[in-house]
Each structure stands twice: as C-alpha cells, then as structure tokens.
C-alpha cells in the first residue's frame, strides 16, 4: 500500500469507485481530501459517455465534493477526438446521451441519420428497437460502427445495468460487423489520460472496479494497479483473468490509511 501512496499521479474510474448512481461511496471524501492534501495529480477517467465534464463536476459537487472540471475525461471526449483525427468534418448517427452528442458537436462532427460516415453507440437510457434498426441499416449501407466503450454492464444504485457493449451487440450480430471501441482499455484513451495527468506512467496508478477495462488498461499502459471491490467485481472474480491487479482494496477509502 505504501508504494501506491507514494505515486505522484492517480487515474481514477468513477462508476463503482466514486459513486453508484447518485450515491457517494464510503471513504471517497477522505480519499479526495488525501489527494488534495498531498498535492497529488489526479484525473477521473470514466468510460461512461453520458455526461459532460461539467455535469460530472456538478454531480460530485451535489455530493459534497469540490473538484475542478479539468480533472474529468470521458469516453465521449475520447470518441470525438478519435473521429476528428480520423475524418475531420465527418458525420455520425448517434445512439447516446447528450455527453457524447456535445463532445461530437464540439469537434465539428454533425448528426446525420441518412448517410453518416459513422454510427456511434454509447450508453442510452432510451435505447429502443427503432434506433437499433436504423443503426443496422446505416452500418449495412457502409457506415463504420463505433462504441464509446467496451463495458458490458455498469453499477447503479439498484444493481447492474447493461452498458455500451451490451447495447451495441445486437447491431454487430445483425450486420456481421465488429465495432471499434474507443474507451478503456484502448491505449488511445489511456495515453490521453496520462498526458492530461502530466505524470510519467511509472509514477502513476490506475484505480478501478473492472478487471476487463480498468486493470488491464493500467497494466498495458505501465501503471501501478489497484482493484476496488465497491463496484462490479468480487474478489473471487479475479481468478477468472490471466492477469491480476497489484492491490485489491475494499474501496478508495483504504488508500489514505
């Protein structure tokens, strides 16, 4: 644990690590205070593309945490950056919340439900058969299929909910096309996170609740890794993976000591 505490920078997942829905998890306030008191570099790096950084900042503010908007980076922002770098001025049919719609708009990517360059799928509370059918037809017509992240499920206040990969799977199955996922563990998002953190990977740690995104992303990017059991992963689940985190913690409240 002492090795973790000595790290200069921390990349921290949000869902299942900081909160479940609108409920702050135990020990989070103490952990954030510890980060600030020790002048740590930290960045909240979330695979959820539902909200903008400003909205995430306000969400935590309502829970009693005062954190600068610049400390948030989402898979929606990463997706917009990726599409803009691949095809500036492109268009997309989007299934998702305003977080991804705003991110794409800010990069000059226009909404197009007729002949888009891309079909982009993120988390969507109102996901329906009509949207799915339209997406399938557009992908069959040549649009490239993009997922904001590869999470199958996500934690909520009342239990597990389907996430991006589960929502995009029917489109993949119906079209025979595999989606390209931009969020964790894609190194594109992790490298951007490290750049925003302004800390070398050897002096940084990844803290998350998912083995298949957070922990593998940290390992492959050369970060120290800590799995917290406050989200979707149980201790016995770790044995199902060919890799393991360096530390397994009950929650982020364990870190300050």
* Cβ(75)–Cβ(183) below 8 Å: yes
State residue 111's pLDDT score. Answer: 97
What tens digit of pLDDT does each residue of 218-248 get? 999 999 999 999 998 999 999 999 999 999 9
Task: State yes or no: is 15 an active-site residue.
Answer: yes
Segment 166-178, tens digit of pLDDT: 999 999 999 999 9
- Catalytic, out of 13, 117, 209, 254: 13
* pLDDT attached to residue 116: 98
The token pair at 240 is 């199902």
Mean pLDDT of the chain: 95
CB distance 45 to 71 below 8 Å: no
pTM: 0.92
Q: What are phi and psi of 225, to 5 degrees?
A: -130, 140
- H or E element: which one contains 31? helix 28-37
The pLDDT score that the predictor gives to residue 125 is: 82
Kind of pairing, strands 144-147 and 110-111?
unpaired
Retrieve residue 215's tokens. Answer: 């922990």
Q: How far apart are CA 43 and CA 190, in angstroms?
A: 11
Q: What is residue 156's predicted lDDT score, i.e. its pLDDT?
A: 73
Stretches where the chain sits below pLDDT 70 are none
Residues 41/8, Cβ–Cβ less than 8 Å: yes
**Cα within 13 Å of Cα(126), Cβ side:** 7
Catalytic residue, chosen from 15, 117, 151, 224, is 15
List Cβ<8 Å contacts ≥24 apart for 174-179. 174/136, 175/136, 175/139, 175/140, 175/145, 177/139, 177/145, 178/145, 179/121, 179/145, 179/146, 179/147
Question: For residue 117, what are its two tokens?
Answer: 């360059």
How many C-beta atoms lie closer than 10 Å to residue 4's C-beta? 17
Please tell me the predicted confidence (pLDDT) of residue 158. Answer: 80
Q: Is 213 exposed, middle or buried (0-12, 13-18, 19+ CB in 10 A)?
A: buried
Q: What are phi and psi of 26, to 5 degrees?
A: -60, 140
Task: Evaluate whether 215 touches 14 at the Cβ level (below 8 Å).
Answer: no
């Amino acid at each position: 644990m002492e090795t973790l505490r000595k790290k200069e920078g921390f990349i921290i997942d949000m869902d299942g690590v900081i909160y479940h829905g609108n409920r702050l998890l135990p020990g989070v306030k103490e952990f954030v205070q510890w980060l600030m008191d020790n002048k740590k570099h930290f960045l909240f790096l979330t695979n959820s593309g539902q909200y903008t950084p400003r909205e995430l900042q306000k969400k935590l503010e309502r829970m009693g945490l005062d954190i600068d908007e610049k400390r948030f980076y989402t898979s929606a922002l990463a997706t917009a950056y990726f599409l803009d770098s691949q095809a500036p001025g492109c268009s997309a049919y989007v299934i998702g919340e305003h977080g991804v719609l705003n991110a794409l708009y800010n990069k000059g990517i226009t909404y197009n439900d007729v002949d888009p360059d891309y079909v982009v799928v993120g988390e969507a509370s109102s996901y329906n058969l009509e949207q799915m059918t339209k997406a399938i037809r557009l992908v069959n017509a040549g649009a490239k299929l993009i997922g904001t992240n590869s999470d199958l499920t996500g934690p909520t206040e009342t239990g597990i909910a389907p996430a991006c990969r589960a929502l995009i799977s029917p489109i993949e199955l119906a079209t025979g096309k595999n989606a390209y996922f931009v969020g964790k563990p894609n190194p594109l998002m992790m490298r951007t996170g490290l750049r925003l953190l302004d800390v070398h990977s050897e002096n940084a740690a990844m803290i998350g609740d998912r083995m298949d995104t957070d922990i593998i992303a940290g390992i492959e990017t050369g970060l120290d890794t800590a799995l917290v059991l406050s989200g979707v992963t149980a201790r016995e689940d770790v044995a199902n993976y060919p890799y393991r985190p360096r530390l397994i913690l009950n929650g982020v409240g364990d870190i300050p000591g």
